[in-house]
Amino acid sequence: QQDLATFDPEIAKCLDAELGRQRDTLEMIASENFVPPSVLTAQGSVLTNKYAEGYPGRRYYGGCEHVDVVEELAISRAKSVFKAEYVNVQPHSGAQANAAVLHALAKPGDTLLGLSLAHGGHLTHGMHLNFSGKNYHATAYGVEKETSLLDMDRVRETALEHRPTVLIAGWSAYPRHIDFAAFRAIADEIGAVLWVDMAHFAGLVAADLHPSPIPFADVVSTTVHKTLGGPRSGMILSGSTEHAKALNSAVFPGQQGGPLMHVIAAKAVAMKMAATEEFKQRQERTLEGAKIIADRLNQADVAAAGVKVLTGGTDVHLVLVDLRDSKLDGQMAEDLLHEVGITVNRNAVPFDPRPPRVTSGLRIGTPALATRGFGAQEFTEVADIIAQALINGQGADLGQLQNRVKKLTEDFPLYPQIGNLV
């Protein structure tokens, strides 16, 4: 059997090129991270060959004795990390986990209430082109125009108006903690089920650096590949077993067929990693880095260029930059940082006057660089590189900024153990 480089050099070259890109640039997309070699090994293993429809001990296929152990380990480790009573590790992705949650908690046509996509919510929380918007009656709450923050009295008013079956808390772009107790109280008042999607901040929760939604929510969903730093995939958790049967049945056979056992093995590895002191320190550096970036972008020279930090700072792993008064729009700023060697994504700010493909904001995240080993000193340097680019816009000294990025990438080599294929 030929190896990849011999059999398919076109794909092998793409893999090499992507490894090079990850090594030579600074990854600051808030939802991305670098998995360790142990996760790559599990995910690239022979477990990809195995069908295992069903759950451990109750499969519809023979030969599941080893994958059963893998899935049990993933579940018990996730329960321990998140202090949960129920975990399902089978969702292929965050969106699939969310589809299963809604499948279990609501009937088609029922009302959902979640954070508006335009204010930082996620597609699966009711966007009109998504299954959540097509199959359910989706309504939304938003942040306040003055502060860009959630006002829980206003969320309550919106909930009393719409009386959703499922109240959704969680976000893809919101830089502050959310008040899970207040969401719980609203859900109780209107008789709704509370679902928290902690996809973004799950790594911080695992490290006890962010309030946990588990004690408050009926159901919690997450991705495993953002702050958690594991394989691209999803999980569903709960502090009780009340919805266990409905959730398991919603994942399989409700939404999925055979689970990706190689990915579940990688999830188990990621959960072992999440219980370590090293993981906690990494999450601390993630938070520290985001604060350093927010502080730098709050300084007078940046403000003078019309660049602001949304909500004035951050409690989490990302900073939202408001470019409404800047010469740059979101697309221009993303392109400029790309040229410098920093990868971020443009992001609509609440009440954004520009269309979603342009936007007036940036979302800058620190998880991947913290995983790469960055601490306060390196984040201070990154923050200044970003500040110089945003201050000077098209007039920035690109060569000088590129050299500063290059120095950081060389000082923190990524995947030194992995060689090129071709």
Residue 340 contacts residue 364 (beta carbons within 8 Å): no
50 among known catalytic residues: no
Q: Which of 50, 176, 184, 232 is catalytic?
A: 232
**Of 94 and 203, which has the nearer Cβ to ligand PLP?**
94
Rounded CA-CA distance 95/235 in Å is 10
51 among known catalytic residues: yes
- Kindly write out the interface string for residues 276-315 of this chain, putting x where it contacts ligand PLP by CB under 6 A and - elsewhere: ----------------------------------------
- Biggest CA–CA distance in the chain, Å, is 66
**Of 34 and 412, which has the nearer Cβ to ligand PLP?**
34
232 among known catalytic residues: yes
How deeply is 8 buried, as exposed, middle or buried, from its count of CB atoms within 10 A (0-12, 13-18, 19+)?
Answer: middle
What stretch of H or E contains 375?
none
Could you give the angle at the alpha carbon of 418 between the alpha carbons of 417 and 421, nearest 5°? Answer: 150
Cβ neighbour number for residue 415 with a 10 Å cutoff: 15
111 among known catalytic residues: no
Can residue 122 be called a binding residue for ligand PLP (CB under 6 A)? yes
User: Does 242 appear as a known binding residue?
Assistant: yes
Judged by CB under 6 A, the residue of 33, 93, 132, 347 near ligand PLP is 93
> Of the candidates 319, 350, 353, 355, which has an alpha carbon nearest to the alpha carbon of residue 337?
319
**Of 199 and 401, which has the nearer Cβ to ligand PLP?**
199
User: Does 189 appear as a known binding residue?
Assistant: no
Smallest gap from residue 393 Cβ to ligand PLP (A): 29
Judged by CB under 6 A, the residue of 120, 164, 170, 239 near ligand PLP is 170
Report phi then psi at 420, rounded to 5.
-70, 150
Q: Which of 13, 51, 139, 179 is catalytic?
A: 51
CA dihedral 271, 277, 282, 283 (to 10 degrees): 70
Smallest gap from residue 304 Cβ to ligand PLP (A): 33
User: Does 361 appear as a known binding residue?
Assistant: no
Judged by CB under 6 A, the residue of 71, 197, 322, 334 near ligand PLP is 197
Q: Which of 8, 13, 16, 53 is catalytic?
A: 53
- Kindly write out the interface string for residues 254-273 of this chain, putting x where it contacts ligand PLP by CB under 6 A and - elsewhere: --------------------
What stretch of H or E contains 261?
helix 261-274
Smallest gap from residue 119 Cβ to ligand PLP (A): 13
Cβ neighbour number for residue 219 with a 10 Å cutoff: 27
Judged by CB under 6 A, the residue of 33, 43, 172, 248 near ligand PLP is 172
Report phi then psi at 397, rounded to 5.
-80, 90
**Among the residue ranges 90-98, 131-139, 242-250, 409-417, the one whose residues contact ligand PLP (CB under 6 A):** 90-98
Q: H/E/C letters for each residue in 21-83? A: HHHHCEECCCCCCCCCHHHHHHHCCHHHHCCCCEECCEECCCCCHHHHHHHHHHHHHHHHHHC
Residue type at 376 in one-letter notation: A
Judged by CB under 6 A, the residue of 94, 126, 229, 231 near ligand PLP is 94
Rounded CA-CA distance 336/327 in Å is 12
- Kindly identify the residues of this chain, within the stretch 12-31, that bind ligand PLP according to CB under 6 A: 31
Q: Which of 124, 165, 222, 223 is catalytic?
A: 223
Residue type at 250 in one-letter notation: A
Smallest gap from residue 91 Cβ to ligand PLP (A): 8
User: Does 121 appear as a known binding residue?
Assistant: yes
Q: Give the residue numbers of the binding site.
A: 117, 121-123, 242
Positions annotated as catalytic residues are: 51, 53, 197, 223, 226, 232
Binding residues for ligand PLP, rule: CB under 6 A, are 31, 93-95, 98, 122, 124, 170-172, 197, 199-200, 223, 234
